[in-house]
């Protein structure tokens, strides 16, 4: 449509590989020329056709931009999905750590380390002290 209008306006054949910018300049020049007498050229001139070409070109540019934007969004879709899942992942990890700590809270004396040995010794001392208290109680109660 743009090529046909440019050929008709200029009266010469344009090559097939002519740029859109060159042809749009011809359309704009014709549009500006026809705007000097808008009512007359709207009915008998090329003003309406030039307006339609401009609107169609604008529509084509918008559709191209929308397609590019759609491709970018599709390419980033996995990133959005990962970002949406991260808070739930960290929350479940934190919950798992809290439950694990709660279940393993009485295991201080287990293991082979220095701290575990000290804990076992303290437990044995506590057991011996309780046994001595019990023995004292039995001795006082039976006397």
Each domain of the chain, given as residue ranges in start order, spans 21-141
Burial classification of residue 14, based on how many CB atoms lie within 10 Å of its CB (0-12 exposed, 13-18 middle, 19 or more buried) = middle
The pLDDT assigned to 23 comes to 78
The pLDDT assigned to 68 comes to 96
The pLDDT assigned to 55 comes to 87
The pLDDT assigned to 13 comes to 76
| pLDDT-flagged residues of the chain (< 70) | 2-3, 106-111, 142-143
The pLDDT assigned to 126 comes to 95
């Amino acid at each position: 449509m743009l090529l046909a209008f440019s050929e008709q306006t200029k009266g010469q054949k344009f090559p097939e590989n002519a740029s859109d910018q060159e042809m749009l300049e011809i359309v704009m020049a014709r549009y500006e020329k026809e705007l000097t007498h808008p009512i007359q050229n709207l009915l008998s001139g090329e003003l309406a056709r030039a307006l339609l070409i401009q609107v169609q070109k604008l529509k084509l540019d918008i559709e191209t931009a929308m397609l590019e934007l759609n491709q970018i969004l599709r390419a980033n879709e996995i990133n959005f999905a990962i970002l949406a899942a991260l808070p739930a992942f960290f929350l479940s990890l934190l919950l798992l750590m809290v439950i694990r700590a709660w279940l393993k809270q009485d295991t201080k004396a287990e293991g082979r380390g220095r701290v575990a040995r000290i804990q076992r010794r303290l437990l044995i001392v506590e057991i011996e002290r309780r046994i001595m208290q019990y023995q004292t109680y039995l001795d006082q109660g039976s006397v």
